Amino acid sequence: MSGENQQVDASRTPDAPPSPAPVPAMPAEPVGRAGQPSRARRLAVPAFYLAGVVGAFAYVGAVDPNEPGHYPVCPLFRLTGVLCPGCGGLRSAHAFAHGDLIAAFGANAFAVVGYFVFAGFMALWLVRAFRGGPTPRIVLRPRYWWALGALALVFVLVRNLSFGSALAP
């Protein structure tokens, strides 16, 4: 080796292999001040979800589920005649999209409560993303999930009995 091409490394012993050249680190995503992702980057995911839900509600609002032939029939209802917790959900979403909360609640009260829970969750997610906070998570103890399932079961039972016909779509 000639002297001009030889790299001198004082930390290297003659028997040790040469160390690899360091690779410059590339940032994973655009960062703003204090090393946080930019506001637009933080808002992208919740805005994407919100756009999908708004698009779905716009479609259901435009295509009336009360007219036969536009949507498939609930398979459980078709096979057994039993109304599931989701039966009437499209009619409920259609009425909700048109601002008729009474008709929406009459078609599927369980779904209307779900719309408001989802709206609250999305509002919280958007505010936290805007401020740079952590993404909200739905963390419930198992007993609360069981209670929610029991509530759905009671809803199904009551809406399928004669005295609960007000809950049927």
- Between 139 and 27, the more confident residue is 139
The first and second tokens of residue 83, run together, are 């109304």
Residue-level pLDDT at 75:
87
The first and second tokens of residue 150, run together, are 């029991």
Output DSSP code: residue 31: B
Q: Using the predicted structure, report yes or no on whether residue 93 has a pLDDT greater than 90.
A: yes
Mean pLDDT of 120-143: 90
Q: Using the predicted structure, report yes or no on whether residue 46 has a pLDDT greater than 70.
A: yes
Residue-level pLDDT at 10:
54
In angstroms, the CA 60 to CA 18 distance is: 65
Q: Using the predicted structure, report yes or no on whether residue 8 has a pLDDT greater than 60.
A: no
First to last CA, the chain: 88
Q: Using the predicted structure, report yes or no on whether residue 125 has a pLDDT greater than 60.
A: yes
CB 122 within 8 A of CB 50: yes
- Between 25 and 52, the more confident residue is 52
Q: What is the pTM of this model?
A: 0.69
Mean pLDDT of 137-159: 90
Q: Using the predicted structure, report yes or no on whether residue 37 has a pLDDT greater than 80.
A: no
Look at 11-20, 35-44, 48-57, 121-130 and tell me which has the smallest mean pLDDT. Answer: 11-20
Per-residue pLDDT band for 142 (boundaries 50, 70, 90) equals: very high
Q: Which residues are CB-neighbours of 25 under 8 A, at least 6 positions away?
A: none
- Percent share of the chain, pLDDT over 90: 37
Mean pLDDT of 104-122: 92
Residue-level pLDDT at 12:
55
